[in-house]
Amino acid sequence: MWNIDWQRVLEQLSYLPQQPMIFSSGIFLFLFLGFSFIYWCLGKHDTLRLLFVTAFSYYFYYKSSGIYLVLLALVTTTDFFIARAIAADQEERAARHREGHSAVQRLLLLLSLVVDLGLLCYFKYTNFFGEMLAPLWNGTFEPLDIFLPVGISFFTFQSMSYTIDVYRGNLKPLDRWLDYAFYVSFFPQLVAGPIVRARDFIPQIRRPLAVTNEMFGSGVFFIVGGLFKKAVISDYISVNFVERVFEQPDLYSGLENLLAVYGYAMQIYCDFSGYSDMAIGIALLLGFEFPMNFNSPYKSADITDFWRRWHISLSSWLKDYLYISLGGNRHGKFRQYLNLIITMLLGGLWHGASLNFIAWGGLHGVALALDKVKNSVLHRPKGYKSHGIKRVVEVLVTFHFVCFCWIFFRNTTFEGSWTMIKQIFTHFQPQIFGQWIESYWAVGSLMLLGYVLHFLPSGMSLSVRRLVVRMPLLLQALLIVIVIFIVIQIKSSDVQPFIYFQF
């Protein structure tokens, strides 16, 4: 009865490169139960509770990236002390009635950016730029064996926003390193967002621990919904259809390629929004509130609206810290359009060191600029919304443009992207649709379910959320068990990492 295989237990608790710990894995669910018990026992002891959560967060990151957790500690420590040094210089200048930023403040901010962006560039872009620049010296470049730490883009951006806000005078720096470490490393959003702003999260850190019935029920709703989207819809259509077509698009008809694009549009939405939902739900169970990261993005009537609904924390970050820093709309129309394109090009590069990602970002940047031109020519007021058939057409056009861009996002080479586009436009073969339904009826059913749920009125989702909130605790627990049972019945043999782990 007590013959425990301790070697296997230690192996599961150690860093396994091929099995990063994710919210939908059994090991996380098991550890989270023990974590929750200790967490609530420490409820009235703020410092001990923060220390415990920070330690667990570092362990969570260790399970994803091993020894590279030292990078998380490095970014946290340098930005904590740099922000304090910036604030100290600001106070000294204020005492002397001096305005503006000093050279010391600018150098300190530059140091923060060098550390954060330097790490990001080394681990993410060394091989990319090496291959691009190699022809300049008529040589060849041997790619370096560089491991990409999970979520490095997320925690560096989050930490950067803190020092920039302190530099701008929008935020007072924290006095305790532990509080800042807790903010940067908080495990629900550590490796794939949402990118939580310091001004939103820091006030919650040391407030009395309390989880209302509304927060608990909403947490259960988000966790169940996110788990279903990720482990049922996204993983199933990915493993059983989408991956096969994208790996060899020339072996499939244009119809199958188009359906794979529609499938990927639903896969990446369910995968990423599912993660965000689970992160929001887990945070709520622990007494913290995150902002929403997705708001039915495929209902958008133009690309501007799409980026108000898709990965909201990143798009707002790019707007506040890159687009506005470039000048925003303060220097005329042409400069505004150029700033939009540059912002999205860099946003594409943030997603990955590939020309495909740059093309994806560039397409969205041009589309955003054209939106501005269209609204200016048609004299549309800010916040304009179309209605009726016109809106339906605009939503369809926007959705298909987004799907077209997903082709470049998902493929690793331009060759693969062009092959897929060529198959769609030259070898469509609509007559095989019946055969596809017969062979992939389960995939098709889950894709259809995903789109139906996505396009339901937002009021229905809110009603279901309120229903879950009002459920007795026993029914909420039963709901979680039912979803986990469904996941176990249809999941693939291997745990499928979240797509945004690679960013």
Active site residues: 351
Pick left, alpha or beta for residue 348 (phi over 0 → left; psi -120 to 50 → alpha; otherwise beta). Answer: alpha
Residue 289 CB contacts under 8 Å (≥ 6 apart), including other chains: 204, 215, 283
Q: CA-CA distance, 13 to 19, in Å (whole number)?
A: 11
Q: How many CB atoms lie within 10 A of CB 292?
A: 14
| Helical axes 254-285 vs 388-410, angle rounded to 10° | 90
Q: CA-CA distance, 420 to 253, in Å (whole number)?
A: 9
Which of these, 274, 275, 305, 294, lies nearest to 402 by C-alpha position? Answer: 305
**Side-chain-facing half-sphere of 151: CA atoms under 13 Å:** 35
DSSP 8-state secondary structure symbol assigned to residue 2: -
Pick left, alpha or beta for residue 169 (phi over 0 → left; psi -120 to 50 → alpha; otherwise beta). Answer: left
DSSP string, 435-500: HHHHHSHHHHHHHHHHHHHHHS-HHHHHHHHHHHHHS-HHHHHHHHHHHHHHHHHH--SS----GG
For Cα atoms 45, 46, 47, give the angle at the middle one, nearest 5 degrees: 100
Please give the structure tokens belonging to residue 451. Answer: 């789109």
- Phi (first) and psi of residue 4, to 5 degrees: -90, 130
Where would I find the H helices in 23-151? 26-41, 46-65, 69-95, 103-133
Q: How many CB atoms lie within 10 A of CB 144?
A: 9
DSSP string, 146-183: ----TTHHHHHHHHHHHHHHHHHTSSPPPS-HHHHHHH
